[in-house]
Structure 1
Amino acid sequence: MARRVLGAFAVTVTAALATLALAGTAQAHTPVVNKGCDAKAGKSWFTVSLKDYGKDKDNTLVVKIDGVEAFKTTFKGKLEEQKWERGGDAKHTYEATITAYDDPNFQKGWSKVETRTTEECVKTPPTTTTTKPTTTTKPASSTPEVPSSSAEVPPPSTTPVAPGGSAPEPPLAATGASPLWLLLSGLGLVGAGAGTLLFLRRRQSA
């Protein structure tokens, strides 16, 4: 009788221990997921670390950033912290899909999808565009410029024209004779002529 009691007690204790072990295993799948944005560094970030997962087979981690797969790996037992960064000047969505080999259909809660979103934390100053003034250069004209009517016109030549339309003869060249000597010679000839005329008249009257 005592043996039966002891046997039943042993079975009960074993079952209880097995139940506790299963419960502990169920609670041991621990994902640690964090996100943030470092304005000083200008980066948003996302981290994942996994511990206390089954060691008998491969577990899987897939990470997508803004809907695009960025990382995929398998692990047994645990996975050290993994980190991803993107520019902090825009909003980003990070998604980690953790598949435990002992919960392939996502029914026990060990396999799960963790999603985090980081907001824009770096403000980009507005850019200013400087427009240089444009200068228009007038092309050189191939047509010579016509002087305006107000331009001065040189006066016509004032050289006198002799009657009859012929040009005046140039003055006689100087011969070096004194004009006074010529005058006295002329007076002498006039006086001689007058004397001759007076002598002839007197002779006729005698």
Structure 2
Amino acid sequence: MARRVLGAFAVTVTAALATLALTGTAQAHTPVVNKGCDEKAGKSWFTVSLKDYGKDKDNTLVVKIDGVEAFKTTFKGKLGEQKFERDGNVKHTYEATITAYDDLKFERGWSKVETRTTEACVKTPPTKPSETTSTKPTTTAPEVPSSSAEVPPSSTPAAPGGSAPEPPLAATGASPMWLLLSGLGLVGAGAGTLLFLRRRSA
């Protein structure tokens, strides 16, 4: 009976020690992953550091940003902080895949994928309202007729050659024929008087 009790106790202790050993080993593989935003620099950031990993072989770290591989390295034991930055005006997804050489199938919890997302975190300053133009009424000077304004055409047509036509003679009511006959009469009277005076002197 005592042997059975001792045997059961030994099995229990052994199982407990094994569990503690496994737990301690699992906890020893420590990834430290953080994210944030630097508004002053206008950047979102992602950091990862690793410690207490196996030293016998290479462990691997792969970082993808927005689905695109941005970094890959191997390390033994530990890896110092690696920092990645992107434009803080848009959303970004950071993914760190840590592969421990003693957990290649991701079954023991030492190999894992750590994913972090940063939202658009840069605050855009409000735009200043545009200055309004003055609303004071403006006075406009009255329009002055231009000296080159067109002068209405004269009702009298221009004479050929560009000279202005002479004004017509005033109508007196006398016939031109009577004037001609009167002139001839005066010339005849003068001629007769001249002949008379010559005969008298002879």
**How far off is 1:38 after superposition?**
1.0
- Displacement after TM superposition at 1:23 (Å): 3.3
Instruction: Tell me: CA distance 1:136–1:33, structure 2 relative to 1, closer, same or farther (3 Å).
Output: farther
- Please report how far the alpha carbon of residue 161 of structure 1 lies from its aligned counterpart in structure 2 after TM superposition: 17
2:18 match: secondary structure: helix
Cα 1:174/1:56, change in 2 over 3 Å? same
Report the more deviating stretch, 14-23 or 178-187.
178-187
2:91 matched residue in structure 1: 91
* Aligned equivalents of 1:72, 1:100: Cα separation in 2: 14
Cα deviation 1:100-126 (Å, max 9, x = unaligned):
000000000000000000010113468
Deviation at 1:196, TM superposition (A): 14
CA shift digits 1:149-181 (9 cap, x unpaired) = 99878x999999999999999999999999999
State the TM-score, normalized to the length of structure 2: 0.56
Q: Which shifted more, 24-33 or 159-168? A: 159-168
What is the root-mean-square deviation of aligned Cα atoms in Å?
A: 11.9
Structure 1 distance, partners of 2:41, 2:160, is 109
> For 2:166 and 2:155, how far apart are their aligned partners in 1?
16
For 2:114 and 2:161, the matched residues in 1 are separated by: 126
How far, CA to CA, are the matches of 2:91 and 2:159 in structure 1? 108
Query: Matched residue of 2:95: which SS?
Result: strand
Over the matched positions of the two proteins, sequence identity in percent amounts to: 91
Q: Paired residue for 2:117?
A: 117
Bigger shift: residues 58-67 or 194-203? 194-203
Task: Specify whether residues 95 and 129 from structure 1 end up closer, same or farther in structure 2 by C-alpha distance, changes over 3 A only.
Answer: farther
Write the distance in 2 (CA, Å) between the matches of 1:10 and 1:166: 147
- Write the distance in 2 (CA, Å) between the matches of 1:74 and 1:165: 108
Change (3 A) 1:62 1:147: same
Size of the alignment, in residue pairs? 198
Q: What is the SS of the residue equivalent to 2:13?
A: helix
Moved more, 4-13 or 184-193: 184-193
**Secondary structure at the residue paired with 2:103?**
coil
- Structure number with greater Rg is 1
Structure 1: how far apart are the matches of 2:6 and 2:12? 10
Structure 2 residues without counterparts, runs of 5 or longer: none
Shifted more, 155-164 versus 173-182: the winner is: 173-182
Instruction: Report which stretch shifted further, 107-116 or 19-28.
Output: 19-28
CA distance in 1, matches of 2:163, 2:15: 157
Map 1:102-141; keep pairs closer than 5 Å.
102-124=102-124
Structure-2 change in CA distance of 1:97 and 1:132 (3 Å): farther
**Offset of 1:146 from its aligned partner?**
24
Q: Decide whether aligned partners of structure 1 residues 31 and 3 sit closer, same or farther in structure 2, where only a CA change above 3 A counts.
A: same
- Cα distance in 2 for partners of 1:86, 1:164 equals 91
What is the Cα deviation at residue 27 of structure 1?
1.4
SS of residue paired to 2:11: helix
Distance 1:16 1:186, change over 3 A: closer
Deviations 1:112-152 (A, max 9, x none): 00000001011346899999999999xxxxxx999999987
